[in-house]
Structure 1
């Protein structure tokens, strides 16, 4: 127990009968009531956990075909497809369509009159040139042109961009307030037209998936279901069951959040960004034509001192939001009920029923979308009817789930009351606002706003640490600075005093992937995740109890912690969290802010920003077609030359690949260059001993000082991911100067006696009897650490210690490296390091396996 929580009772203190702790008389009654309530809730939670049956993994060992092999993939298609279930070898399983791409358009730059016209306009747009600068650039190109060029001035460029496609159009909404009609402008584009544009796109359309699937992988005994994309989860399957058999679901993800456009936050925007669920996540969350696209720009209601803090004005702001959002949804409301035909990329006309499957927003927008009354209401959760005073629990519960139909019925019942007080009492009973919900206009069988809302875990670290005080904030900054650099992860010198416009950096700061962020889930990982959630809830209750004496006024019942209770229900319904976390869509805020700062006159900015955003989309589309034509022509013109010979700069096999080759050096030169480095002492002697111990070396080896080796400073390791069963690659560095800093990554090494962790010191190849051996000099982290610390058991840390002698380096074959790993120094114990098992979801699962094998977990 921390020293902060140790108390010495005296004659004036009272002892709590429930927890047995002593308190001063002041505040004792408050503690005793709260303590008894927590004890009752904990007992109820335990009974509920005990009553929940084990998770069923839908294994069917009795139906496994006779010739099924380990890792075979079974695909069960939705009954509407009339496609029989198939089982195929893992090596044959593919998620991509195989199709012959059509011959590219020979004039991909249209509506620009020639390619040079487009490329000059593209450059002017990318660099945010002013009208005058664009005209000057055109004049310069005209003076020195050697090919067709027809642009005359900025007006000509603008008119050509506008001719490329229709952009967002403005419309006016009217919402009453105190008997007066208040008008706002909302910008939107047809969601249906945008979706159909993607279906018709020759490069995007073929990747669309229209039918729900259930995928499972054979583990030797049974088929274990796995979930990743939305169409492999339950909600997509259920939605397809609600539409005619000949129809296909066309599903959307919608994201809405206010964005600061100016540096000081005085100017804000409210974009609505859409993604097409039917596209794979790599395209859907990527940049370019198939990624997120701005489809709306909502009005922002300014606070009025006259109505400040009133229920009337709060309802008015929500009513404005729904009236504006209805314009965004307008084009997909009729197809959600009656369907709509569309001609796709393959010239096949399909019947589509539209739906909103996912709403990717933070808690504030969730409350607005669901018409709940926010965190101070009696039932703040937009998904279920849990009381406010139970929000600190993330345990599963039997509280009623909200549904679109039930909320609509409640609204009708309340409005049937003549007296305002009675109407308010009915709505307040479930914390619902007296406002029409635009999502109720959609087909309620396939779109339910409460089911579409999702859990998002970003943007909370700084708040939690900030509550602990300045000293803790300084320690957090120091510890972040000490973390190793790692590919695809931002490195921070400090984190407590900075803010970002998108969630990608917040996600790296708050890198707690655990089960929530796995790219692929199985029934087993979901069950393990629910168990981890149970452990978290129990520890949270203990922490709240122990910390109450220090902060009796602290209220732990807030919605963000409770929403985690719905986390794994979301995963089962909509797939992995990367399908709906806010990070991909928050990336769109940066170009919008850039357009505000570089492409507007800071007056009436919405149409200027949206025009620039639309031009960017058109530019990406045309650029893609131009590059496609260039690549096609290059393939047609290239000579038939055998290009399968080895790359002289790298050495490789399937598992490992060396790169960043250095000039050949003799062993004598290596010794001289590293004479001050103890890890390189007796380099040649230890190398000879290592080579002679290899079973493939049949003759005695004696490398001489004049013998040469080739150093490499880059290592690529391929391995099968434990998450999605596909090949994954780690890019590792072993360099004295990488981006002006030394970088020596760590690895997991496989040996006959087990695995160990090591730091790369030197990569090289040497030739022995005409055979090239890829070798790594490493320093291992295999020093015994003694008795396992209690906190390591609780927090599931894997602790390692570096060999204290700097001369304790050794050679290994590079092929024995399993994968890379990041090690973080433990600031409390010098020389100790902790495995960063949250860098990515694969290392998390791999360390989970190692914990189980070592007996650290039940």
Structure 2
């Protein structure tokens, strides 16, 4: 065929060209198909935007004409407004509907094409549902016009004279409390009493490293003999010089006293009869309290009066939604003590105290700990509950103080029970009780009179107040509680330290029993002592589960020893109901069914998560740590449910215990959560009763009943748990290893003094350096205040981490075809371009536009916790080889009308377009709700199925991470979203405020 006249002959190497029917431009024939697809998408989006703009103009004109009195119904096609995605506008804030910056609709489930969520003019919506305010006292008069949309209202006790305080929750949280800089007794020499700074620095290093005298001597010899470069600036030349400097420094802190405590015991046998002496080293607890009260650096973290906190909604009127309990000063006990103390604003002048009266609640922790294979030590720790928990439960200034080590007489320590007669064993137990209670009574004696009369002093803020100490919380295991309260063992007829529940009723969690009080228990002891025979006396004492003796705190004011017994999640839950009972029962059941190996395989397949141990074969391991038991309780259901019969009561019991443990462990409690906790206790009780071959008649099961009251009276459980003191046992073990073993307690308290005073000096020296830095900065600024810029934008609530090199989109697609999720990346290039065309039409993106991709292996997501409304952070992984194994975490994102949508991260990347604009996106596999259910569907059970294809998700819609466990024993893939990984997830997935 002849070539048409006027056309150019095509060369053999010239590519085939074609004309685009949309934009009428000529392109390479091999890529014109993809080009035309994007052209049509761009054209469709432009037309849709133009139509929406035209419709908006018609609606505006219609409203204007109706405003001029022109009635009639609106004509034309009804507007279909796009559903805005829920979006976190900044880190730590609650999700809100963004109606201004909404991505346009796309052919993607993240962007619905139409939505009727917003009624026309909101006319058909009707009035918004009103929340019923809780029956609380009248709130203070606050101007509603200035109230945030939701906030925490704190109202202080009337004796304080303090105004109410509002903490907004719909914006940036208030800045953290700034601690005043510490000042030593010699501001010119903050390192005093050391002569020169090198002396202090060298001593601090030696104390922190726990160096022995031989090591210190070796270093000093090397320094003074110029083994190291340059002359030595130390004035300390020997170990004795350092010891003298430390002795002078120890006067800055509360020092230990030495005393000899004597017990005159007239036993029934000659073995233990006689005088027993104990060399006792102790700190006066009142001196420790004074040290804390006078410390100006602790003033911002101290609370002198009780208060009530409320979660409120603002707007035109203030609405109290619920009461909030967290620190002990927000609970009932402190408020009741404040009511009893003298009122500084009383109408009668004669009843007004000279100085404000404040309650000084104390936390006492006692426990025995193994410091070597053969030696146990028994420390007594004290904390001040008026100090915020962030300081009180940490190490350093304002944290726990070691008061003493409880020591038994040599006759008790050296006795072998196996070779004692019955009478000698009775004498041994009685002598142990006398020593234990005598030492503790001597230790706390300085607080007894002051709890009644108080003591006036100048506090760290310069105000004189009268303080009344009282022991509000006792954290101990049951063996310690029984000794402390002079009660009988756990197998006694009445063994509960809180109430008089009979032994045969310990299984029942739905019935209340008479509470113990100091007056009632003292009456029982007096009645028993009036009996003429030993048998009658023992019968009276057994009727209340007591031993003959006076409890230490009976003579104290504001110190109820039975109310102070507190719920301990470590011993009652992790090491109690679950670790010693339900887990043991589950292991035995799996062994009898010959399915333990299947369970272990399922547990090994669970994904990794932060702060959770990965337990590969739990049935083969003997556990001793509470955290391991807690992790197993949180993750046990997905690997167990398919191995048990349908509607298994064990599954329901474990689930109810999970729910209870998640709520009882929260650091912020509300009235609604306490009510839910009681429902979970009831569900746990009913499920346990259906397990026929397991006896739940034990004390730790019963004590579950007292958890809600303990929280309401003394604050959340993190202030009561023994876990905060368990870390000190490691210090005790370390101190013991540095002693000679002879009179070890006296050497250990000296080591504790040295470490405490050097930590205090470290803070003073560091604060002095900070003070100088601020002074120099002020001098450079010449006193000018720096103003914020006018144009400020909210920072994103995510940060990308662990970057890979930036590559072109084609190279990135080729790389991902070799990844573990390669099946989802076919057509990635075209899919991303379609997504950008719909979400950012202003780019005018074509198939030929250059796009660069920089992928990341991790993302840090900031979010606002639903537990206490503070900011939290998730670190999510999207890594083909994280610690030599693939890890692709899941997320919760806001989409459509469901704020709890789930997806798995397949890739995290930042794409840069030809126009120079960058977008942070995630390539995800969505999950949708499944109709499949396990053989036993537990309360709150949710099952999701993975979508067959992947989609793009802008990172601004990611809320936080999620944990999905794969269901075992099924032909297709199903996943359980676990709500037990942390407190926030539990509240989110169960829709609990």
TM-score (norm 1): 0.83
- Indicate yes or no: 2:768 matched with 1:629: yes
Residues 324-473 of structure 1: pairs in structure 2 closer than 5 A: 324-397=439-512, 399-443=513-557, 446-458=558-570, 459-460=575-576, 461-464=578-581, 465-467=583-585, 468-469=587-588, 471=591
Alignment root-mean-square deviation, CA: 3.2
* Counterparts in 2 of 1:536 and 1:291: CA distance versus 1, 3 Å: same
Cα displacement (A) at 1:748: 0.4
Matching residue within 974, 980, 991 for 1:838? 980
Match for residue 809 of structure 2 among 667, 680, 684: 667
Q: In the alignment, which residue of structure 2 is the partner of 1:322?
A: 437
Q: 1:72 aligns with which of 151, 154, 157?
A: 151
User: Structure 1 residues 132 and 98 mapped into 2: Cα distance closer, same or farther (>3 Å)?
Assistant: closer
Q: 1:598-639 CA deviation, whole Å, 9 max, x = no partner?
A: x12233322223322222222222222222223333334456
Q: What does residue range 732-743 of structure 1 map to in structure 2 within 5 Å?
A: 732-739=876-883, 741-743=885-887
Match of 2:705 in 1: 565
Report the 3-state secondary structure (helix = DSSP H, G, I; strand = E; otherwise coil) of the residue aligned with 1:724: coil
Deviation for aligned residue 1:172? 3.2
Q: Note if contact 2:180-2:296 (Cα within 8 Å) is conserved in structure 1.
A: no
The Cα of 1:154 is off from its aligned counterpart by 2.0
Q: Does 1:811 align with 2:955?
A: no
Find out whether 1:789 has 2:967 as its counterpart.
no
Q: Which residue of 1 aligns with 2:607?
A: 484
Rounded to whole Å, the distance in 2 between the matches of 1:111 and 1:740 is 53
Match of residue 364 from structure 2? 254
Matches within 5 A, 1:130-149: 130-142=212-224, 143=226, 144=229, 148-149=233-234
> Aligned residue for 2:845?
701
Q: Report what 2:160 is aligned to.
A: 81
* Correspondence for 2:891 among 747, 768, 781: 747
Pairs within 5 Å for 1:141-220: 141-142=223-224, 143=226, 144=229, 148-165=233-250, 166-175=254-263, 176=265, 177-178=267-268, 179-219=273-313
Q: 1:107 aligns with which of 189, 203, 223?
A: 189
What SS does the corresponding residue of 2:297 show, helix, strand or coil? coil
Q: Return the alpha-carbon distance in structure 2 between the equivalents of residues 396 and 219 of structure 1.
A: 36
Distance (whole Å) between structure 2 residues aligned to residue 478 and residue 169 of structure 1? 57
CA distance in 2, matches of 1:660, 1:810: 22
Which of 899, 903, 906 is residue 761 of structure 1 equivalent to?
Answer: 906
Aligned to 2:670: 522
Shift of 1:426: 1.6
Give 1:596's aligned residue.
736
Shift in Å, 1:654: 3.5
Segment of structure 1 superposing worse, 345-354 or 138-147: 138-147
| Alpha-carbon spacing, 1:501–1:786, altered in 2? closer, same or farther (3 Å) | closer
Residues 191-236 of structure 1 show CA distances to partners (whole Å, capped at 9, x for unaligned) of 1111222222232233110100011112475341110000001011
C-alpha deviations, 1:664-709, integer Å up to 9, x for none? 2222331232222223322211111111121x43233246596322
Tell me the distance in 2 between the aligned counterparts of 1:499 and 1:585: 23
Indicate which of 606, 609, 612 corresponds to 2:748: 609
Q: State the 1:369 CA deviation.
A: 1.8
Listed as ranges, the gaps of 5+ residues in structure 1 are: 1-54, 548-553, 853-858
Structure 2 CA distance for aligned equivalents of residues 279 and 632 of structure 1: 25
SS for the counterpart of 1:625 is helix
> In structure 2, how many angstroms separate the alpha carbons of the residues matched to 1:515 and 1:396?
21
Give the number of the structure whose alpha-carbon radius of gyration is greater.
Answer: 2
User: 1:96 offset after TM fit, Å?
Assistant: 6.3
Alpha-carbon deviation of 1:576?
0.8
Shift of 1:367: 1.5
Residue 756 of structure 1 contacts residue 781 of structure 1 at CA under 8 Å; is this kept in 2? yes
1:771 aligns with 2:917: yes
**Could you give the per-residue CA deviations for residues 481-518 of structure 1, whole angstroms, max 9, x where no partner exists?**
44433334444445567678875555445554421111
1:375, distance to aligned residue in structure 2 (A): 1.1
Q: Which of the residues 390, 393, 415 maps onto 1:285?
A: 393
Q: How many residues align?
A: 773
Q: Which residue of 2 aligns with 1:535?
A: 683
Higher relative contact order (CA 8 A, sep 6+): 2
Give the CA deviation at 1:72: 3.3
Gaps of 5+ in 2: 1-131, 344-355, 635-657
Alignment correspondent of 2:832 = 687
CA contact (8 A) 2:816 2:825 kept: yes
Cα distance in 1 for partners of 2:619, 2:765 equals 45
Are the equivalent residues in 1 in contact too, given 2:366–2:379 (CA < 8 A)?
A: yes
> Is residue 172–residue 186 contact of structure 1 (8 Å, CA) maintained in 2?
yes
Task: Indicate conservation of the 8 Å contact 1:750/1:756, yes or no.
Answer: yes
Partner deviation per Cα, 1:745-791 (whole Å, 9 max, x = no partner): 22101112524212222211123444321111122233x53243352
What corresponds to 2:110 in structure 1? none
**Mapped partners of 2:378, 2:421: distance in 1:** 22
Segment of structure 1 superposing worse, 218-227 or 430-439: 218-227
Q: CA shift at 1:522, angstroms?
A: 0.9
Post-superposition offset of 1:283:
1.2
Q: Distance in 2 between matches of 1:353 and 1:652?
A: 47
